Amino acid sequence: MPNKCPTCHSDNPETVKFCGECGTQLPPPHDHPPVMTETLQTPVRELSTGSSFAGRYQVIEELGHGGMGRVYKVFDTKIKDKVALKLIKPEVASDKETIERFSNEIRLARRIGHRNVCKMFDIGEAEGAHFITMEYVHGEDLKSMIEMSGSLSLGMLLSVGKQVCDGLAEAHSLGVVHRDIKPQNIMIDKHGNAKIMDFGIARSVRDKEMTSAGVMIGTPEYMSPEQAEAKEVDHRSDIYSLGVILYEMATSHVPFEGETALSIAMKHKGETPKAPKQLNSNIPDDLSGVILKCLEKDKTRRYQNASDVRAELEKIEKGIPTSERVIPEGKPMTSREITVKFIPRKLVAPALIIMAIAAVGAVYLLFFSKKSGTLEPAPKRSIAVLPFLDMSPAHDQEHLSDGISETLINSLSNIPDLYVSATTSAFSFKGKNLDIREIGKKLNVEAVLEGSLQVLGDKLRVITRLISLEYGYQLWSETYNQKLDDIFSVQDDIARKIVRALKVKLLGEKDVQIVNSHTINPEAYEFYLKGRLFLNQRTSEGFKKGLTFFNKAIELDPSFALAHVGVADSYNLMGSYEVFPPQDVYPKARKAAERALELDERLGEAHTSLARLIHLFEWDWAAAEKEYKRAIELSPNYPLTRISYSVLLSAMGRSEEAIAEAKYAKDLDPLYSLPSAVLANCYYWARESDKALEQIREALEIDPHSPYSLQIFARILVQKSMFEEAIRICQEREALDASIESLADIGYIYGKMGKRDDAKEILKRLEEIEEGKYVSRFSIALIYIGLRDFDKAFALLNESYRNREFGMIELKITPRLDDIRSDSRFKVLMKKMGFEYGS
């Protein structure tokens, strides 16, 4: 049974004498806790699983609680990723100075960008509570590992020790001291990667006003002698605490124990610890010596920086058998390894020579000396263009930074023999604290282009870096300082130099323009980028705003072909998402797509837009397939074409071809949930429910909150007669986007289950919604099919046919219509839809 701290109420193991969170001496495990004071009776806000907080965070589970408050794993709906959220106790948050200190400290901690340091995000206030957000790390803390296994293996000790040294070295170089390094603050994931947690009480050694004299900060067993005396500390205090951690990993004991926090502090100040070798004879003498040097009372006699400790540990590691070494999976580059540094003038010439030799060597290794025994080779020559960072003072140029990245991806995708990771997969890492090698491994590419953009008035600065992932070399970097109206030439120059660096033959020997912007008007281009930003939100409001920006771009430059494609895509999506009646939007989509093709007949994106409206509204299957094939010929690596074409093939009953196209789209965009969900739908329509279930779970792993994936998941569950679970998934989707389709699916399932009253209640709700919003006849027809009122269902399906609704394209293949397939009226509908083609 955990031993609860009387001060902060955190749970501690029975064997621990002092609280791991606040250092308070704990009562004997079976004693009754003392009566709390009025202050401590202040209620601590708790968040329940499944609830939302601050209008942004969806609570997944509670991870633990301690002196500052409770910690939760949450899903951040803004950045679309899991983060950790620490809800600060009211009695802590009530002190304005404390909150101000936390804010300053998080500002300092955010400067640390390193794989072995948990990233701090922000401090905020919502719903009457203060909270801190930080990177979520899946694993267990080092303290738990030690308690479970006793002293760690030598290989694990050295691996963890080196990683902690790396994280501390990065923080110390930025002037940030942790002050509370302990095993509870070090997380180890399943691959052996270590992250230092909770720089929440870190202080900058340069910010003297933030140092409170006479205040002892730290956990008694791990604090340095200078901390015990409440003296000013620097980075060497963290070196001492690191020594304690190494001692505990080697022996399963801390150097000093005592009955009170004060007695332990006095031992740190005045007693000499036993040599670790005395407690564990299996550790090398050198390691015992390293630990004792970290634990010197006089900080001038300790190692003076974490890098020196790491060097000693690495030297020891080289002396042990290779089989005993622990190598964390996916060793990344630190921020220093991928950041261009300013070099003192005296060193410029030799540094440039060395960099030039390294770059040439890297290119040679990357493309001409592929070794055997390496990881699975990436397809062709391959690159990923990551979203460029917006470093503008107001951070208001996201549309421009995203636009440059997306334009480069689209331009490079047209180069023969070069595989370029699709936009959605590359952009899935946006806002996430992952190292570049990990990203490259997930995308299966050889090189990554990353960059940043800064706009100051009419001045534009773009910084780019091209990095080889296999060898860790920076192949090429460049900084552009130009006027904002020169953005097209900047993009062209970046793409041209990347091609040269990658040794890809570009359109023969000609030096041609790579980037086809379709406009020379920078303001029009900016409106286009903003339109794409909103369109990618995939919401009804986003479609409308996107359309507004595309039209503004066209007003400035009527010959801007991509802006016309944007208009076509906006109307197409409004039709397929049933924002407006089909007749109101698809004809406008055709007009815009045709205008784009008049301006540029070879624009693959425009052919895809035209194919989609022919497919989804005009139902001319042969013409749609012709347009899809033309789009693939012009832009073979445009995932949306493959996705849409697979839907057409599947609807025609050509399942094998459909599955092949969906798989191709998935390979192009492996970290985008849509291709996996479409592949799942192809299997669902082909009645291969087990494969469908496997694929949809994969899609939901990528994006657990994708409405489309949830929709397909529910339908697969119905196919497997898992009705209750299907309803729960439909309700989850309906809560995300107030989906009419989800309500209709629920009504259909209720009908299948024999819950007629519940199904009819859904019909009433849809009638109410219909007063202010378009509700498709096809959706209502499904509910009547579930209720087995086939006369009403056929009347609605015929109305749906006259309205040319999206749902009718699945008439031939969907399992949801199986109950009416034997009816002669169904065969009449099939003939009307022209489904004989391709049968």
Confidence band, pLDDT 50/70/90 cuts, at residue 123: confident
pLDDT for 340 beyond 50: no
Tell me which of 478 and 25 has the higher pLDDT: 478
**pLDDT (mean) for 706-731:** 93
Tell me which of 229 and 823 has the higher pLDDT: 823
Confidence band, pLDDT 50/70/90 cuts, at residue 31: very low
Residue 456: what pLDDT?
67
Most confident of the following: 64-73, 245-254, 324-333, 498-507: 245-254
Rounded-to-integer distance, Cα 593 and Cα 567, Å: 8
Residue 30: what pLDDT?
45
Residue 440: what pLDDT?
76
Which residues contact residue 654 at a Cβ distance below 8 angstroms, ignoring those fewer than 6 apart?
838
pLDDT for 543 beyond 50: yes
Residue 711: what pLDDT?
92
Residue 509: what pLDDT?
40
Minimum mean pLDDT among 326-340, 582-596, 613-627, 774-788: which range?
326-340
pLDDT for 82 beyond 90: no
- The pLDDT tens digits for 237-272 are 999 999 999 999 999 999 998 877 778 888 998 899
pLDDT for 836 beyond 70: no
Rounded-to-integer distance, Cα 491 and Cα 411, Å: 10
DSSP string covering 544-604: HHHHHHHHHHHHH-TT-HHHHHHHHHHHHHHHHTTSS-HHHHHHHHHHHHHHHHHH-TT-H
Minimum mean pLDDT among 307-316, 616-625, 671-680, 806-815: which range?
671-680
Rounded-to-integer distance, Cα 502 and Cα 500, Å: 5
Over the chain, what is the mean pLDDT? 79
Confidence band, pLDDT 50/70/90 cuts, at residue 590: very high
pLDDT for 288 beyond 70: yes
Rounded-to-integer distance, Cα 518 and Cα 407, Å: 11
Is 180 annotated as catalytic?
Answer: yes
**pLDDT (mean) for 584-604:** 94
Active-site choice (180, 238, 492, 669) = 180
**pLDDT (mean) for 351-375:** 36
Tell me which of 774 and 516 has the higher pLDDT: 774
DSSP-derived letter for residue 446 is S
Are the C-beta atoms of residues 563 and 557 closer than 8 Å to each other? yes
Percent of the chain with pLDDT over 90: 39
Residue 471: what pLDDT?
56
Kindly state the greatest CA–CA separation across the chain.
95
pLDDT for 459 beyond 80: no
pLDDT for 407 beyond 90: no
Q: Which domains does the chain have, with CATH numbers?
A: 52-135 (3.30.200.20), 140-324 (1.10.510.10), 361-516 (3.40.50.10070), 738-839 (no CATH)
Rounded-to-integer distance, Cα 601 and Cα 635, Å: 12
pLDDT for 345 beyond 50: no
Confidence band, pLDDT 50/70/90 cuts, at residue 358: very low
Tell me which of 100 and 741 has the higher pLDDT: 741
pTM for this one?
0.50
Residue 535: what pLDDT?
83
Cα-trace Rg, the chain: 31
Residue 811: what pLDDT?
94
pLDDT for 740 beyond 90: no
Confidence band, pLDDT 50/70/90 cuts, at residue 683: very high
Residue 189: what pLDDT?
79
pLDDT for 567 beyond 90: yes
Extract long-range pairs of 740-746: CB within 8 Å, 24+ residues apart. 740/578, 740/766, 740/769, 740/773, 740/775, 740/776, 740/779, 741/578, 741/711, 741/779, 742/711, 742/714, 743/769, 743/779, 744/779, 744/780, 744/782, 744/783, 745/711, 745/714, 745/715, 745/718, 745/782
Residue 255: what pLDDT?
95
**pLDDT (mean) for 746-768:** 95
- The pLDDT tens digits for 443-452 are 888 888 888 8
Burial (Cβ within 10 Å: 0-12, 13-18, ≥19) of residue 724 = exposed
